Amino acid sequence: MSQTERMPRTRTYLMCPPRHFAVEYAINPWMDTTVPVDAALALKQWQLLRDTLIDLGHTVHELPAEPGLPDMVYAANGAFSVDGTAYGARFRHPQRAAEAAHHRSFYAAGPWRFVAPAHVNEGEGDFAYLPGAYGGLILAGHGFRTQPAAHTEAQEVLGRPVVSLHLVDPAFYHLDTALAALDDRHIAYYPDAFSASSQRILAQLFPDAVRADRTDAEAFGLNLVGDGRHIVLNHEATGMAEKVRAAGYVPVPVELSELKRGGGSVKCAVAELRP
């Protein structure tokens, strides 16, 4: 499919500025507490990401940052919304547990049906929604953070079929580090981040997927945001940018070197709101 046939769809996002961002603990392989974070640069890079999304025609809401919660910038982890229902997060690690209440307050103030989870899950970190695939399909990761029981819970709460995918490489501890929705029907993913059975499932469901290699994944090239035409991704992921370009999309690189220190990039910082 050519780029002229790739049509963007205006979307609404939630982001949280990194006003208190730091790497004070290590809960994923990317976090190194011995390397100081440049807080001013982190905020500047985040603002560039926000402005890039707005310039592409999207709406961005901001969740206020809270002292003592340095990882709130990874706003995708706070909930997962589909058709006006927000399925809340329940973080695995105690360092992030308090973030969930702030996300709940955001949804409670809007036109949302908020459902508190009974099981550990980390929002869009481990859930991806493809409204145009198979009548509306949720892909869900487990293995490091989200519990498999949360996949069943999300299916009941959101009324969409959930396909469980087993993550097996700790470097790719969330689904959104190993798989991305490019638009409403198509995905990109790094096969070796998944178990053999999950690889077979993905190959069957998405035979036309863009397949990333380890270099792409380690550059956080799959931690991207797509609107159907534009693919906003980490500037380091040059190989991934060429792959999506070859598939007919327009890559939009953004530098997020400081946020990568905490184990996240574009998608981690952006929650899609689906009212």
pLDDT of residue 75: 98
Catalytic residue, from 58, 151, 174, 186: name it: 174
Specify the higher pLDDT residue, 160 or 3.
Answer: 160
CA distance linking residue 244 with residue 212, whole number of Å: 10
Q: CA separation (Å) from 42 to 13, 29, 79, 178, 195?
A: 19, 19, 23, 23, 34
**Secondary element (H or E) of residue 52:** helix 39-55
**Vertex 8 angle, CA 178 and 87, to 5°:** 50
Distance CA 68, CA 110 (A): 25
Name the CATH superfamily, with its identifier, for domain 9-273. Answer: L-arginine/glycine Amidinotransferase; Chain A (3.75.10.10)
Q: Residue 5: what pLDDT? A: 75
Q: What is the C-alpha to C-alpha distance for residues 84 and 274, in angstroms, rounded to an integer?
A: 6
Give the three-class secondary structure for 234.
strand
Q: If you average pLDDT over residues 90-98, what whole number do you get?
A: 98
Each residue's pLDDT tens digit, 124-179: 999 999 999 999 999 999 999 999 999 999 999 999 999 999 999 999 999 999 99
pTM: 0.96
DSSP state at residue 67: T
256: CB partners within 8 A, 6+ apart: 45, 46, 49, 220, 234, 235, 265, 266, 269
244-272, pLDDT tens digit by residue?
999 999 999 999 999 999 999 999 999 99
Per-residue confidence (pLDDT) for residue 2, from 0 to 100: 45
Q: Across residues 71-86, what is the average pLDDT?
A: 98
Q: Is 230 a catalytic residue?
A: no
Assess whether 268 carries a catalytic annotation: yes
At 61 the pLDDT is 98
SS3 275: coil
Active-site choice (58, 186, 230, 268): 268
Res 165: pLDDT: 99
17-44 pLDDT per residue, tens:
999 999 999 999 999 999 999 999 999 9
Comparing CA positions, the residue from 165, 162, 122 lying closest to residue 141 is 165
Burial class (CB in 10 A: 0-12, 13-18, 19+), 1: exposed
* Domain positions in the chain: 9-273
